[in-house]
A and B are shown apart, each in its own frame.
Chain A
């Protein structure tokens, strides 16, 4: 059966691959920062675990666990790959770039830096799925905030 282009864009092979074989999947033993994110309306859940460098600047390790739709799981998997090793400031900037990408409000400031994550641009056409794509990123932000508190 012929598939719509929008759907093909939403579920690209790379995205489906990440959802089936999530990277950096698992927990980080303490001491670490942790946050839980969920979308109560659809039941998707993601836990983000991260370890900062000794000076607190860098995200040395980042993992996630959770369950949910292909979009939320793929976004989490791709996020961990992209963010691991980056500084806190870079992570916050990327989150904003990514949010603008999936919401489709203006061009991201630095599309190159998002790398593979730009494949999730197809979410723009499915506004109800934005919260799926953002779930892991909201948890990441919370985990970072808990470290600053």
Chain B
């Protein structure tokens, strides 16, 4: 693979920040966009823009076709059985809230258990806290071990028949841990629990397949996999979607409306009230085409090489503590704590050398408490990053050590 040519597909990367070449190491927060995606958006607005599913004119049918074609693409991309299992949302957060407010409210009662893990992003924690308050269900979590993996012994104890829903992250955005999704979903199925997998950090970084993983719900955000912000996907097994009440009411989601009441469309449209982010959906389609042309296996291999190399070099910085699995199988990010600089001071320092990283709690406050750190600095990688950029990061970490001690 010619990774340097692939990198040149991302116009934003070719710039100077604070008089240094930009080193973008914050893709776990949001990825950059290739020209193919930017052009698809611009083409849509220049040639086909109009509302979907509403008018009979040429532009509307073009927009509708492109929109529904993207839905098919997403279904194939994540190995869903059919495209009617694909609901467009604003992102992971909205997808999880949709499930909590529809399936959750319909199915949870006092005495039921919602099981999550100690490494969830706030977006896969707060909606369940709200749901538990509303329904009287109890929220429990699987603890995280010191090495950043889930306590598998606790899974056996906590995953009981009281558990109605097991929601967990596929790849932790704060640790890099890759959870054994397929195995955990099988265990949940065995006790009759419905599963929701947060695919924010896995989708677009590795092949994902719904049928193979065997989850009931899956969410991801377009912006972390080369697509625009503001668009995401909720996958739901059709039998579940069909049984769920609507969440938002409005246009697009109804079958018929009288002043007295309404009937609703079948999924996925039942859950897509109002004019959707049409350009965003088309952008997701373009991003999928782009990623598939490179190949998800290739992307995963390159990501893994980068993070293994980074782990190796960064562990030589005196005073560093890298969170999460120390070797092998991990996502493409390295989150760390330095005994000589607070994350915000380090991020500020690195920024003056053109390096973009994120410092803080990464929307996982309970996890920071668990590891007794005020926050961490996170360097996250995607296939457009290079070994040279990691070398640059390590050089800056050594310089920071001199500066702050």
Interface residues of chain A, those whose CB is within 8 Å of chain B, are 1, 3-4, 6-7, 10-11, 16, 41-44, 67-71, 126, 129, 132
A71 and B345 contact, CB distance less than 8 A? yes
Q: Which of B363-394 contact A (CB under 8 A)?
A: 365, 368, 374-375
Residue of A nearest to B346 (CB): A69
A6-B344 CB under 8 A given contacts A42-B360, A42-B375, A43-B375: no
A68 and B374 contact, CB distance less than 8 A? yes
A69 and B345 contact, CB distance less than 8 A? yes
Residue of A nearest to B365 (CB): A43
Please name all residues of chain A whose beta carbon is closer than 8 Å to the beta carbon of B399 when the two chains form the complex: 1
A1-B344 CB under 8 A given contacts A42-B375, A43-B360, A43-B368: no
The answer to the question of B294 belonging to the interface, with a C-beta cut-off of 8 Å to chain A, is no
B375 and A10 contact, CB distance less than 8 A? no
The answer to the question of B158 belonging to the interface, with a C-beta cut-off of 8 Å to chain A, is no
A4-B352 CB under 8 A given contacts A11-B403, A43-B360: yes
B345 and A67 contact, CB distance less than 8 A? no
The answer to the question of B395 belonging to the interface, with a C-beta cut-off of 8 Å to chain A, is yes
Q: Which of B18, B353, B374, B404 contacts A1 (CB 8 A)?
A: B353
Q: Which of B343, B348, B361, B368 contacts A10 (CB 8 A)?
A: B348
A6-B361 CB under 8 A given contacts A42-B344, A67-B374: no
Q: Which of B341, B348, B352, B353 contacts A129 (CB 8 A)?
A: B348
The answer to the question of B72 belonging to the interface, with a C-beta cut-off of 8 Å to chain A, is no
Q: Would you give the shortest CB distance from B318 to chain A, in whole angstroms? A: 16
Q: Which of B315-372 contact A (CB under 8 A)?
A: 341-345, 348-349, 352-353, 359-361, 365, 368
Residue of B nearest to A126 (CB): B348
How many angstroms between the C-alpha atoms of A67 and B342 in the bound complex?
A: 9
B348 and A1 contact, CB distance less than 8 A? no
A41 and B403 contact, CB distance less than 8 A? no
B396 and A70 contact, CB distance less than 8 A? no
Please name all residues of chain A whose beta carbon is closer than 8 Å to the beta carbon of B404 when the two chains form the complex: 11, 16, 70
Please name all residues of chain A whose beta carbon is closer than 8 Å to the beta carbon of B368 when the two chains form the complex: 43
Please name all residues of chain A whose beta carbon is closer than 8 Å to the beta carbon of B360 when the two chains form the complex: 41-43
Q: Would you give the shortest CB distance from A141 to chain B, in whole angstroms? A: 23
Q: Name the residue among B344, B360, B399 with the largest chain A CB count within 10 angstroms.
A: B344
Given A3-B352, A43-B374, A68-B374, 9 new contacts (CB under 8 A): A1-B399, A3-B403, A7-B352, A11-B404, A42-B360, A69-B342, A69-B343, A69-B345, A132-B344
Please name all residues of chain A whose beta carbon is closer than 8 Å to the beta carbon of B395 when the two chains form the complex: 1
* A-contact 0/1 string along B233-275, CB 8 Å cutoff: 0000000000000000000000000000000000000000000
How many angstroms between the C-alpha atoms of A70 and B346 in the bound complex?
A: 10
Name the 3 nearest CB pairs between A and B, nearest first.
Answer: A69-B344, A69-B342, A4-B352
What are some 29 contacts across the A-B interface (CB < 8 A)? Answer: A1-B353, A1-B395, A1-B396, A1-B399, A3-B403, A4-B352, A6-B352, A7-B349, A7-B352, A10-B348, A11-B349, A11-B403, A41-B360, A42-B344, A42-B360, A42-B375, A43-B365, A43-B368, A43-B374, A68-B342, A68-B374, A69-B342, A69-B343, A69-B345, A70-B345, A70-B404, A71-B345, A129-B344, A132-B344
